[in-house]
């Protein structure tokens, strides 16, 4: 078992990987979340920076699986999601609909604590967060 005294680092070469249905809603959320997490990486789409810390594993990807292409917003929309951040390898976010994925992205962003310009730390890994809102 690999542990990090200061949490699991992630850097501004971090990316989201959509492994299910994709939509403009989701792509725009990816962009907003990247800007929120790494505001100093303004040229990130043109050039990827190397992780500042190469001595330990760096979280570089969150795989996002949206299981339905339905992006309609109504009173019975499914906002469930499961976010898993393991000790190594990519993190995963699974949601039946894009609206759950948006909530999961927000949760992910709240877990990343700034540690230096262009870098963040996620403490308490491994993590598994399953959210099933009841409205």
For domain 8-131, the CATH architecture is: 2-Layer Sandwich (3.30)
25/33 Cα distance (integer angstroms): 12
Is it true that the peptide bond before 126 is cis, omega within 30 degrees of 0? yes
**Pick the residue with more confidence: 36 or 109?**
109
Q: For the whole model, what pTM was predicted?
A: 0.76
Per-residue tokens: 5: 């005294």
For residue 23, what pLDDT is reported? 87
**Pick the residue with more confidence: 11 or 82?**
82
Paired sense of beta strands 59-66 and 8-18, if any = parallel
If you average pLDDT over every residue of the chain, what do you get? Answer: 79
Distances (CA, A) of 45 to 17, 49, 53, 54, 60: 14, 10, 21, 22, 15
């Amino acid at each position: 078992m690999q542990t990090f005294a200061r949490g699991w680092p992630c850097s501004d070469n971090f990316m989201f990987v959509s492994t299910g249905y994709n939509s403009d809603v989701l792509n725009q959320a990816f962009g907003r979340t990247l800007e929120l997490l790494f505001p100093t990486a303004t040229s990130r789409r043109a050039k990827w920076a190397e992780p500042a810390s190469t001595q330990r594993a760096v979280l570089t990807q969150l795989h996002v699986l949206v299981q339905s292409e339905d992006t309609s917003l109504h009173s019975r929309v499914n906002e469930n999601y499961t976010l898993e951040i393991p000790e190594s390898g990519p993190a995963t976010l699974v949601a039946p609909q894009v609206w759950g994925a948006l909530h999961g992205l927000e949760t992910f962003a709240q877990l990343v604590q700034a540690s230096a310009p262009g870098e963040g730390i996620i403490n308490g890994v491994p993590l598994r967060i399953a959210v099933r809102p009841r409205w």
